[in-house]
Amino acid sequence: MANAPFLPLQPLADELLPCLPAACTDGSHDRAHIQRVWSNARRIQAKEGGDLEILLAATVLHDCVAVEKNSPLRDRASTLSAQRAAAILTGMGWPAARIEQVAHAVQTHSYSAGIAPLSLEAKILQDSDRLDAIGAMGVARCFYVAGRMGSSLYDVKNPMAEGRDYRDNQFAIEHFHTKLLKLASGFQTAEGARLATLRHERLASFLDDFMDEIGTA
C-alpha cells in the first residue's frame, strides 16, 4: 500500500507523475500533497459518485504548473495548469471530451481563481484540495508557507489586528482570518462539507489555543 498511494489507478498515476515539474521546492504542493488530495477525493467519491479516472488525472495534474503564493500570476495558476494538463493528456492520446473534463476540474479547483466548478468531478477536486488547507494539515501548511515567504508568526504589538486590516502576508496567524476560517462554508459536495466541518473545528480550536498561549485570550 505504501508503494501504491494512488489505488485503484496506480498505473495511470505512474504515467502522469513524471510530467510534473522535476524540482519541486514547495513542500505544501509536493507529491505528498497530491497523495492527500487523492485520499480526500476517494473518500468523497465513495459517497458522491463520479468518474475516478477523470478525478485521478485532475488530482495528479492540478498543480502541474508551479506558481508561488506571492507571484502576480497566482490567480492564473489553475488556468496555466489546466492548459498544461490538456497538453499532457493530448500527448497521451486521450479523447478530447475527457481532456476537457480534466482541464475544467483543474482550472476550477483554485480558491484564488474564483471559477465555479460545474461537473461532479470538478466539485470533488475542489473540495478535496480545500480539505488539505484546513484542519491539522491546514495549520501545518499555513506556517510552512509563511516561513518560506519570510513572514512572522504574529504581530507582537497587535496580535489581534485591532483597528487595522489583517496582514496575512506579514503575519502567519492572520491568514486564518483572511482565508482558512472561511473555507468550510464553500464546499460543493455533502460529504466534502461534512469533512470540512470537522476540520474547521480543529482550525478554530488551534487558533483559540494559540491566542491563549501568547497571552491574548
* CATH code, domain carrying 67: 1.10.3210.50
Using the 3D structure, point to which of 83, 115, 147 is the last residue of a domain. Answer: 115
* Tally of domains in the chain: 2
Using the 3D structure, point to which of 86, 115, 144 is the last residue of a domain. Answer: 115
Q: How far apart are CA 1 and CA 46, in angstroms?
A: 19
Using the 3D structure, point to which of 56, 84, 115 is the last residue of a domain. Answer: 115
Domain interval for residue 27: 1-115
Other Cβ atoms within 10 Å of 185 Cβ, number: 10
pTM score, whole prediction: 0.92
- Whether residue 125 is contained in a domain is answered as no
- Give me the pLDDT at residue 72, please: 63
- Give me the pLDDT at residue 194, please: 98
Say if residue 154 is in the same domain as residue 111. Answer: no
Q: How far apart are CA 69 and CA 89, in angstroms?
A: 26
- Whether residue 105 is contained in a domain is answered as yes
Q: Can you give the pLDDT of all 217 residues of the chain as single tens digits? A: 457 899 999 999 999 999 988 767 777 778 899 999 999 999 999 999 999 999 999 999 999 987 766 666 667 889 999 999 999 999 999 999 999 999 999 999 988 788 999 999 999 999 999 999 999 999 999 999 999 889 999 999 999 999 999 999 999 999 999 999 999 999 999 999 999 999 999 999 999 999 999 998 6
| Residue in the structure block whose three cell numbers are 502522469 | 16
- Give me the pLDDT at residue 27, please: 74
